[in-house]
Structure 1
Amino acid sequence: MARFHPLPVAAVERLTDDSVALTLTVPPELRAEYRHAPGQHLTLRRLMDGEEIRRTYSICSPAPGPEGPSTLRVGVRLVDGGAFSTYALKEINAGDELEVMVPAGRFTLDPAPGMYAAIVGGSGITPVLSIASTLLAREPEARFCLIRSDRTAASTMFLEEVADLKDRHPERFQLVTVLSREEQQAGLPSGRLDQERLTGLLPALLPVGSVAGWFLCGPLGLVRGAERALGELGVARARIHQEIFHVDAGEATVTTAAAPAHSTVTARLDGRGGSWPVQDGESLLDAVLRNRPDAPYACKGGVCGTCRAFLVSGEVRMDRNFALETEETDAGYVLACQSHPVTEKVELDFDR
C-alpha cells in the first residue's frame, strides 16, 4: 500500500552542478516501516499548483540492520523540465519536510558469497552504491566489479563514496570508469559503452561466466546494450537484473489492441477488494485510484514498477514496460499504470 509519512530533511549535499544528495531523518517509531533492501527506492510527493507530483529516487545508503534506518539518503539529478528535480536542486533546504512513501522495488541483492558486477550510467550509480556497499560490508567472501559511464568527471555522482569503497575493500572492489565526452589521463579511452564495446571489453575485465549477478542501471540505451552484450557472451537471463532511469520519447513503443465497449476492474489492495468501471481510454491504475487513492504508483510511465500487480483473471495490454523483467510478466504480473482492459472483466491483486 502507498503509505506516506512526512520526514524531515537533515541535509542537502551538492554532488555536481546538476545533482544533490538528500538525507532524510527517520523517527524511531517509523524505522521498521523504512527498513529497506539494498537497491530499493523511495517515492517522494509534493502538491504543485494543485496537482500531486510523485517522483522515485533510489536509496544510495547501505541497507540497515533489523532495527531499521535512522536516516535515508537519495540522489537526485536535474531533469530538463523536471518539476520535482528542479524543486529539489533549487528549493529544498535542511529542516524542510518531505512526504515519503515506504521503500519499494525489486532491483535488489541479498548479500551472498561470490562475484557480482554492475554496469551503470549517470545516476544509475545510486542504487548500485547501496548494493555494493551492503554486499562488501556484510559478506567477506564477496567481490564486486563496478563499470560506470559518465559524460565527464565533473558530472560524476558519488565520486567520494565510490573512492571510499575502493579504499576500504581494495582486494574485493574493482572500479572501471569510462567518460563519454572527456579523455582520462589513465584508464579506458573515452566513448559510449554500447553493445559492441561491452562485448569486447567485459571478458578482458573479469571472468564473465563466473559472475553470480549482473546489475544494469541507467538510461534505456545503455541498459539494453549491456543486456544484449551479456547475452552474446553467454550469460543466462536469470543472472541479469536491470532498472531503467530514463527513457527518451523516441525510444518508447506503444502497443495497440481493441478495447471492450464496457469493462470492469476488480482489485485487491491491502486486504480489501472492490470492483469499478473503467472509463474509455483510462488505465486500470487510474480506474482504481478514483476509488482507492491509496493504490501504489509513482512515475505512471512504465519505468519504476511501483504499480506492479498480479493479473488474476482477464486480459490486458500494456502500452510500455521498462520495469518488469520477463520472468515477472511470464508469472502474470503487469504494470497497472500501463494496462488497459482487453476483456470486459479484469481482476488485479496488488498484495501478491
Structure 2
Amino acid sequence: MTTAAKTKPETPPAKRRPPRFHRLNVRDVRKETDDAVSLAFDIPDELAADYLFTPGQYVTLRRAGDTDGVRRCYSVSSGRDDGELRVLVKRLEGGVFSSFVHDELTPGTELDVMTPEGTFGAKIQRGGPRTYLALAAGSGITPIISIIRSVLSADPEASFILFYGNRTLSSIIFRDELNDLKDTYPERLSLFHTLTREGTDSPLFSGRLDAEKLRKFAGALFDPKAIDDAFLCGPAELIQELRAELCALGVAENCIHDELFAPAGDGNIAPVVRAPIAAETAPGEGVEVTAILDGTSRTFVMTDDQESVVTAAAAAGIELPYSCKGGMCSTCRAKVIEGEAEMTLNYALEPWELKENFVLTCQARPKTEKLTVDFDHV
C-alpha cells in the first residue's frame, strides 16, 4: 500500500477547477475498426474553456442524467489544433457502456461528459530539437495520437518515433490518420507497426511488442540516449515490462510517462484484501473526513465497513469526483493536507505526486483520526 502524510507547503498551493459533468450533444459517431468507434461532441461556446485539454487527457462519460449509473473514462484522440473533442470507445465483451455506445448511440444523442482530466499528457516544450518516443498497443494509441498530433503541429523542431502493436492490419486503430500524419511530417514522424497474427515484410516487426523486441528496435531504429520523453500506453503488464526495459536501455526514468489501460470489471485487476481503518478510534465511532471541493469544505464520518473516501462520501450524500473506481485514472485525485491516508491500489499517480501527498480517493482510507483531502490542488 502507498501512504501519504501531511506536509506544510512552502508556497501557496496552486488551485484547479475540479472536474464536473456537462450535458453535451454527440455530433459524430465514426467507425474506426470492427470493434472501435470514435465520438465527437458539440461544445457550446460558454463551455469551450472548460473542455480545453492537454494532449493525452481523458473524459468520463455516462448516460444523460444517470447520476448513479455506469460511468467510463475514455482518452481524447484529437489534437489541440483539430477543433474538436473526440474520444475512442472500444467494444468490450460484456461491457455495459461500450455495448450501449456501439449498439444504440447515434448522432444527436446527449451524454453527460466530464471535463478533461489526467496527467499523462505531454507538456509541449520549445527551445531546441526534442525527440519523443511512443510505445502503444491496441486502443492505447488513443492518447498517443493526441500527443503526436499536438506536438508535431505546435513544435517544428520536434520529432516523434512511434512503435504500435496490433494483431492484424485491419485492427489498427486510426490507421489512415497515422498514415496522413506520416505524409504531413515525413521527416519528423517515424512510424513502425508490429503484428502478431499476420505476416510482415520483416521478421523484426512480426510478433508481440515486448522487451525483447524493444531491445532490437533500440539497436536498429532509435537511440535510447537521444530520447527526451517517452510515452507508453496499453495493458498494465506490457507497459510495466516496456518501462523497465527503457530504463535498462538508458532512458531516464523521470522522462518515461505511462498510461495503463484496464477496463473496469474485466478481471485484470487482482482483488486486494482491504485493511481496516488504522486510526485509533472507539468501535463504531469512525473517522472524521473533510473534503475540500470548489473551495467548500464538506465533513463526514467514514466507518470501517466503507471501502474508500469516495464511497463514504456518497453514503453521506456527498458526490466527489470519480470515474473508474479501480485506481486506473486520476479523476478522484486529491491532496492530503491533514492526517494520513493509504491507498489499496494505485496505477495512476506518478512518483512526484505521491511525494507531494496526492492520493486517489477511490482507493484511499484514513490512517489517522482526522483526514482532510483537497480536490482543488493542481
Among 153, 156, 177, the alignment partner of 2:169 is 153
Match of 2:240, SS?
Answer: helix
Of 207, 211, 215, which residue of structure 1 is paired with 2:231?
215
The answer to whether the 8 Å contact 2:262/2:268 transfers is no
Q: CA deviation at 1:25?
A: 1.1
Aligned equivalent of 1:264? 288
Higher alpha-carbon deviation: 20-29 or 273-282: 273-282
Structure-2 change in CA distance of 1:92 and 1:150 (3 Å): same
Q: 2:7 aligns to what? A: none
Structure 1 residues 25-104: aligned runs within 5 Å: 25-46=42-63, 51-64=68-81, 71-104=84-117
Distance in 2, matches of 1:214 and 1:343, equals 38
User: Aligned match of 1:130 in 130, 134, 146?
Assistant: 146
Q: Which residue of 1 aligns with 2:244?
A: 228
Once the two structures are overlaid, the 10-residue window that deviates more, 307-316 or 244-253, is 244-253
More RCO (CA 8 Å, sep 6+): 2
1:140 alignment partner in structure 2: 156
Q: Residue in 2 aligned with 1:288?
A: 313
Instruction: Report deviation, 1:251.
Output: 4.9
Conserved in 2, the CA contact under 8 Å of 1:117 and 1:211? yes
Rounded to whole Å, the distance in 2 between the matches of 1:290 and 1:103 is 26
Contact 1:255 1:317 in 2 (8 A): no
Task: Indicate the larger mover: 214-223 or 164-173.
Answer: 214-223
Give how far 1:255 is off.
6.2
Shift of 1:334: 0.8
Q: Mean alpha-carbon deviation: is it higher for 310-319 or for 187-196? A: 187-196
CA distance in structure 2 between the aligned counterparts of 1:46 and 1:174, rounded to whole angstroms: 39
Distance 1:251 1:193 in 2: 21
Larger mean CA deviation between 237-246 and 184-193 belongs to: 184-193
Tell me: CA distance 1:255–1:234, structure 2 relative to 1, closer, same or farther (3 Å): farther
1:95 partner letter? G
Instruction: Report the 3-state secondary structure (helix = DSSP H, G, I; strand = E; otherwise coil) of the residue aligned with 1:337.
Output: coil
Of 3, 24, 28, the residue aligned with 2:41 is 24
TM-score by length of 1: 0.93
Give the counterpart letter for 1:4 in structure 2: F
Amino acid in structure 2 at the alignment position of 1:318: M
CA-CA distance at 1:44 after TM superposition: 0.6
Matched, 1:15 2:32: yes
In the superposition, relative to structure 1, how do residues 187 and 270 fare at CA in structure 2: closer, same or farther (>3 Å)? Answer: farther
With over 3 angstroms needed to count, the CA separation of the structure-2 counterparts of 1:292 and 1:114, relative to structure 1, is: farther
Determine if contact 1:208/1:235 at 8 Å carries over to the other structure. Answer: yes
Question: After alignment, is 169-178 or 204-213 more displaced?
Answer: 204-213
Q: Normalised by the size of structure 2, how large is the TM-score?
A: 0.87
Aligned residues: 348
Q: 1:9/1:322 Cα in 2 relative to 1: closer, same or farther (>3 Å)?
A: same
Mapped to 2, the partners of 1:292 and 1:106 lie a distance apart of 28
Structure 1: gaps spanning 5 or more residues: none
Q: Give the CA deviation at 1:181.
A: 2.1
Answer yes or no: is 1:252 the counterpart of 2:277.
no
Q: What is the rounded CA distance, in whole Å, between the counterparts of 1:292 and 1:181 in structure 2?
A: 50
Map 1:197-216 to 2 at 5 A.
197-216=213-232
Q: Report the more deviating stretch, 338-347 or 166-175.
A: 338-347
Pairwise CA RMSD = 2.0
Structure 1 segment 328-343 matched on structure 2, within 5 A: 328-343=353-368
1:177-236 Cα shifts (integer Å, max 9, x gaps): 111222223573422122233233223221111111000111112210111101111222
Q: Name the amino acid aligned to 1:295.
A: L
